[in-house]
Amino acid sequence: MLKAFFLNLLHVYSNDVALNNKLWEDIENKYSNKKRHYHTLHHLENLLNELSEVKPQIQNWDTILFTLFYHDVIYNTLKLDNEQKSADYAEQKMLMLSVPIDIISNCKKQILATQSHVFSTDSDTNLFTDADLSILGYSHEAYTKYYQNIRREYNIYPDLVYNPGRKKVLLHFLNMEKIYKTPYFYNKYESQARINLSEELKILSR
């Protein structure tokens, strides 16, 4: 399903079948890296499902799709500039496809917004970042699997280093007035997300 969505998106801008398939293989390889346990193709599938539910609210579906496929394309747990590098990478590939500059610019802004997930004046950006955080409001079982996979991605760090950093992330969200900026995602996930985040914080504080 992901491949079909990606190739259909690219076909709007490029008739170069070889190039389009090469760009898909690139996406597939990046998100299938053995060091990834959460930021995988499954994460992209989940995002696509979540965003499809609010598609009538989205003003530029193509931009959202480009953001979806490229927002975590660069993911190095040793670095702090993954979002910027992913945005730059997306721009490079989209220029190859002759994607309009306004779509490229908005895509880059949306990717950069995933660094802090704070409120944006752009409604599409809020919908995307909310969908990106939807896992926080899933069932206890799904959330537990999520944070365990995040820990596996950061297994290079001992608990002494990882736990304080993870607690800082959890508190970042818990201290927000609203984790989810849009009514749809707020109503669907806010309450459970706060329960899940608080429970993980307690575990890390033991």
pLDDT in tens, 52-79: 999 999 999 999 999 999 999 999 999 9
Q: Using one digit for the tens of pLDDT, what is the confidence trace for 184-195?
A: 999 999 999 999
Mean pLDDT of 28-49: 98
Please give the single-letter amino acid code of residue 179.
Answer: I
Give every CB contact of residue 16 below 8 A, 6+ residues apart in sequence.
none
Give every CB contact of residue 84 below 8 A, 6+ residues apart in sequence.
112
- H helix or E strand, kind and range, residue 65: helix 61-70
| Assessment of whether the complete model's pTM goes beyond 0.95 | yes
Mean pLDDT of 115-127: 96
The DSSP symbol for 34 reads T
Q: Is the dihedral of CA 59, 61, 66, 69 positive or negative?
A: positive
pLDDT at residue 206 above 90?
no
Q: Which two tokens stand for residue 121?
A: 């004046």
Q: What is the per-residue pLDDT for 127?
A: 98
Distance between CA atoms of residues 132 and 83, nearest Å: 13
**Percent of the chain beyond pLDDT 70?**
100
Please give the single-letter amino acid code of residue 78.
Answer: L
Is residue 174 within 8 A of residue 198, CB to CB? The reply is: yes
Structure-token match 């069932």, residue found: 139
Mean pLDDT of 88-100: 98
Is residue 113 within 8 A of residue 167, CB to CB? The reply is: no
